[in-house]
Chains A and B, each alone.
Chain A
Amino acid sequence: MKYSLASLFAGLIFGFGLIVSGMANPEKVLGFLDIAGLWDPSLAFVMGGAIIVGVVAFAVARRRTLSFLGFNMKIPSHNHIDKRLVIGSLMFGVGWGIAGICPGPGIVALGAGEIKAAVFVASMVSGMVIFELIERNRAKA
């Protein structure tokens, strides 16, 4: 229960951050990605602000084996750079560049009642299902 409440809280604040920053607006994101047009560098500041806070949080987290609510820390430890990581990320970037929507802002825009966001999120979840099916087939083979 505590775990889920903390998750709900984090999701909500995350959503506020995306709204305040302009990241929830795909046109703003495309303005950032359009370096050859009239470039809007604002979103670099979103990344910067988030990472400043994040670096401190991870420095604290690294010294702990249990979270402040007493749960096991689940910080990824693998540092393996492989084809999957690079190809997957390259694919994600193409999708991001087409519509200006990444997963978090897609969910927030859906919550704001945007029909187009619903279409995007439905396709994104379908993509995730396709990934799971491919993985399952590969595991069998």
Chain B
Amino acid sequence: MIEIAWSNFTPWSALAGGILVGLAAASFLLLNGRIAGISGILGGLLTPLTGDIAWRIAFMLGLLGAPAVWLLAGDMPAIEINAGYPALIIAGLLVGIGTRYGSGCTSGHGVCGLSRLSLRSLVATLSFMATGFITVFVIRHVLGV
């Protein structure tokens, strides 16, 4: 039986934020002709090719600067990171290796790939969603952390 956390449920802000993410990916695609895949844009900076660096840094600066620009207009919503440092290190390594090995993350496969109806991205998205659900289940309900 699935129990819904109605007090945490925020469909409207989630939808509005999702539309903004979609608009960002759409503008990137239609202006620059590229897929807005965060792990790919960041990963490409590690094996830099001439003329292929500035735009990647610019995209990352936009992401990094979003909270600062947001603060000019109002308060930032909470960012709660409850994982401890060892967990964060293991999680980061897995996300870094996994997204490069699988050529994409939630943005590249999840948003852009599904939007262009790519079977490859559907397989990737179902794979990381599955292990995401399983991992949280094991941590919270089997190990009881």
Chain A interface (Cβ < 8 Å from any Cβ of B): 3-28, 30-31, 33-58, 60-62, 66-69, 71-76, 78-81, 84-104, 106-114, 116-117, 119-132
Contacts and interface: CB of A to CB of B under 8 A. Distances in A.
Closest 9 CB pairs of A and B: A127-B96, A21-B17, A11-B62, A15-B66, A88-B102, A49-B18, A123-B92, A97-B135, A54-B115
A81 B123 contact: yes
Contacts of B2: 35, 39
A23 B107 CA distance: 12
Per DSSP, chain B at the interface is helix
How many interface residues does chain B have, given as a range?
Answer: 35 or more
A50 B19 CA distance: 5
A51 B115 CA distance: 5
Interface of B: 2-5, 8-11, 13-36, 38-39, 42-43, 46-47, 54-70, 76-83, 85, 87-107, 109-112, 114-120, 123-125, 127-137, 139-141
B18 A46 contact: yes
B79 A112 contact: yes
B47 A11 contact: no
